[in-house]
Amino acid sequence: MAASLDELKIDRSRGGRSRVGRIVWLVLLLVVMGAGAAAGWRWWEEARIPVVSTAAVRRTVAADGQPTVLNASGYVTARLQSTVSSKVTGRIVEVLVEEGMAVAEGQVLARLDDTTERSYLALAEAQLGAARGALAELEVRYEEARLDLDRQRRLLEQRLIGQADLDAAQAEADSLRARIGNQREQVVVAEREIDVRRTALEDTVIRAPFSGVAISKDAQPGEMISPVSAGGGFTRTGVCTIVDMSS
């Protein structure tokens, strides 16, 4: 009976060892979980940083006496570039240039309405013709007055007329001579007016200032063009833009 009671006693030493084992396993589990969390956090932080690829640059130094070739990319910019406009304000009736077209210096690029300028030129030519006609008439009259003055002098020598008659003939000749001088000046003025009108007519023709390539076409027939900005979008300031690719 005593032996049976001894067998029923609790083995406290075995229970203590079991608790220690469970604690050890729990600690190991926490360590593993902590290491996994740290590794996961590090991976997440690295994933947040963007990766930028850069191209390697290699520079080759040539030996003495050997040529060196440098390859580079970039843009070629022409030094001579011009937006071609007109000298006067007017309405475009014809555009003779297209984008990408090669043009020569002095080539006609566009024309403006020249109706008014042609009318002014025709009027100036008519005025010049009238001035020349008046001058020719005065010269004929002066020649007659000069001949009459000579006759009056001979008659005065013969005492057939008085001094007053000779003086009147002299005054007429002098007056006509003065009028001829004034009329010649009028002819010169009329000639200058024609030069001005011809220049104004020529200004309705827009020409290329130099040889090059048209890189843009900026106006169309029917639009207004002016050498200065009108402050709105209804008036063009240029027909096209030309660049000299050789500059």
pTM: 0.62
Percent of the chain with pLDDT over 90: 60
pLDDT at 184: 98
pLDDT at 30: 75
pLDDT at 5: 44
CA 223: distance to chain centroid? 17
Comparing C-alpha atoms, which of 195, 192, 247 is closest to residue 77?
247
Sign of CA dihedral 154, 157, 158, 160: positive
Q: What are phi and psi of 212, to 5 degrees?
A: 175, -155
pLDDT at 73: 59
Structure tokens at 8: 């029923």
pLDDT digits (tens, 9 = 90+) for 9-42: 445 555 555 666 677 677 777 776 777 766 665 6
Q: Alpha carbon of 33 to those of 21, 24, 27, 86: distances in Å?
A: 18, 14, 10, 84
Put the strands of the sheet holding 240-244 in their side by side order: 80-84, 240-244, 212-217, 102-103
CA distance 111 to 102: 18
pLDDT at 245: 83
pLDDT at 52: 37
pLDDT at 19: 64
Comparing C-alpha atoms, which of 143, 165, 142 is closest to residue 153?
165
What single DSSP character describes residue 84? E
Q: Alpha carbon of 184 to those of 41, 111, 128, 131, 195: distances in Å?
A: 106, 36, 11, 8, 17
pLDDT at 64: 55
Q: Alpha carbon of 36 to those of 10, 141, 181: distances in Å?
A: 41, 128, 118
Q: Which residues of the chain are modeled with pLDDT < 70?
A: 1-21, 24, 32, 37-78, 230-233, 247
Asked if 227 and 89 touch (Cβ cutoff 8 Å), the reply is yes
The angle at the Cα of 184, spanning 178 to 185, to the nearest 5 degrees, equals: 95
